[in-house]
């Protein structure tokens, strides 16, 4: 009979395993009381998981802009005004933000300095007056590449940078890189889904809307900037972060629909 009371030894987690565990989707259970819990799915989807992004959050459509779609049962946020472009974040500022909010949180010990900022822009934050910095940062040599949203620090590291820097194929048009969903019922109901894509050179404009269990939001114009496309959709209803999807379509500089099969 085994009289040992101590559990068997367990090997410590590797750096990669710790990073995966830290970036795993968190879904708080609802408390016993009347106050529902806040739910957040972290924006931590990397190039290696693009297929999962497409299956989980992305719906492609090639319908023209005058197709308003099916009216959703949720109250949608008003369509955004014409997009004039995202503000470029200086490399020095982006590097400081990455080191402060992302480097330790993402466990990117493998990334070696000096860092190279591939792309960094100010994107809409949680409120209308707030902004976040969304960035793609490459380490020196072959030490990998990381995406990060600051100040939250959510993101992911990848060893192979090619999927983040090379354009998608002409057939694909767009390639999903990273994104996040958010939904809560308090202090007021709201839901959000955003995605960053690698875009073909011929794509000059993107439009997106949220889809969730029959609820469909209005088409909203996204941003196309230096080979990347950013799309952000919100509503003042708690739709459940796990149920949110983003439908996207693309146009060229002449306003013609660009067929896409985004991955």
Closest-CA residue to 19 (of 109, 140, 127):
109
Q: Has residue 38 got a pLDDT over 50?
A: no
207 forms beta bridges with: 221, 249
pLDDT at 48: 30
The answer to which of 4-13, 26-35, 168-177, 231-240 has the lowest mean pLDDT is 26-35
Is residue 148 scored above 90 in pLDDT?
A: yes
**Contact (CB, 8 A) for 165 and 116:** no
Give the ranges where 103-218 is alpha helix by DSSP (H): 162-165
In this predicted structure, what is the pLDDT of residue 22? 43
- Give me the percent of the chain exceeding a pLDDT of 70: 67
What pLDDT, on a 0 to 100 scale, did the predictor assign at position 104?
77
Least confident range of 94-108, 184-198, 201-215, 222-236: 94-108
Both tokens assigned to 249: 């379509």
Separation of alpha carbons 263 and 260, rounded Å? 9
CA separation for the pair 112, 109 (Å, rounded): 7
Tell me the CB-side half-sphere exposure of residue 68, using CA atoms within 13 A. Answer: 4
DSSP string of 30-78, one letter each residue = PPSSS-PPPEEE-S---GGGHHHHHHHHEEE----TT---PPPSSPBPP
Q: Mean pLDDT across the stretch 223-249?
A: 92
- For 2-16, 28-42, 89-103, 125-139, which range has the lowest pLDDT when averaged over its residues? 28-42
| DSSP structural state of residue 165 | H
Q: How confident is the model at residue 250 (pLDDT cuts 50, 70, 90)?
A: very high
Of the chain, the percentage scoring pLDDT greater than 90 comes to 42
Contact 43, 194 (CB under 8 A): yes
The pLDDT, as a whole number, for residue 127 is: 83
pLDDT at 143: 87
Checking if the pLDDT of 94 tops 80, the result is yes
What pLDDT does 115 receive? 93
Mean pLDDT of 19-45: 38
Q: Which are the contacts of 233, defined by CB distance < 8 A and separation ≥ 6?
A: 77, 192, 193, 194, 208, 209, 210, 217, 220, 246
Lay out the sheet containing 145-150: strands in order across: 87-88, 116-124, 131-138, 145-150, 154-158
Average pLDDT over residues 176-180: 91
Distances from the Cα of 124 to the Cα of 67, 76, 95, 129, 255, angstroms: 26, 17, 20, 8, 25
How far apart CA 164 and CA 168 sit, in angstroms, is 10
36 has a pLDDT exceeding 50: no
């Amino acid at each position: 009979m085994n009289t040992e009371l101590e559990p068997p030894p367990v090997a410590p987690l590797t750096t990669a395993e710790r990073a995966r565990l830290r970036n795993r989707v968190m879904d708080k259970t609802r408390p016993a009381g009347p106050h529902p819990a806040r739910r957040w799915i972290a924006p931590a989807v990397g190039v290696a998981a693009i297929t999962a992004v497409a299956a989980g959050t992305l719906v492609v459509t090639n319908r023209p802009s005058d197709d308003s779609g099916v009216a959703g049962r949720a109250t949608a946020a008003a369509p955004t005004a014409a997009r004039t472009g995202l503000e470029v974040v200086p490399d020095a500022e982006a590097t400081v933000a990455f080191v402060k909010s992302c480097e330790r949180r993402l466990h990117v010990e493998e990334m070696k300095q000096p860092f190279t900022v591939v792309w960094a822009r100010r994107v809409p934050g949680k409120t209308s007056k707030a902004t976040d910095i969304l960035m793609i940062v490459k380490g020196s040599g072959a030490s990998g590449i990381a995406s990060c949203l600051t100040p939250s620090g959510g993101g992911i590291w990848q060893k192979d940078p090619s999927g983040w820097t090379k354009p998608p194929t002409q057939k694909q048009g767009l390639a999903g890189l990273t994104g996040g969903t958010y939904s809560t019922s308090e202090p007021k109901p709201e839901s959000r889904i955003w995605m960053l894509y690698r875009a073909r050179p011929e794509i000059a404009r993107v439009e997106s809307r949220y889809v969730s269990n029959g609820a469909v939001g209005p088409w909203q114009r996204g941003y196309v900037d230096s080979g990347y496309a950013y799309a952000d959709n919100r509503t003042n209803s708690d739709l459940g972060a796990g149920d949110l999807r983003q439908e996207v379509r693309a146009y060229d500089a002449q306003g013609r629909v660009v067929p896409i099969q985004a991955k």
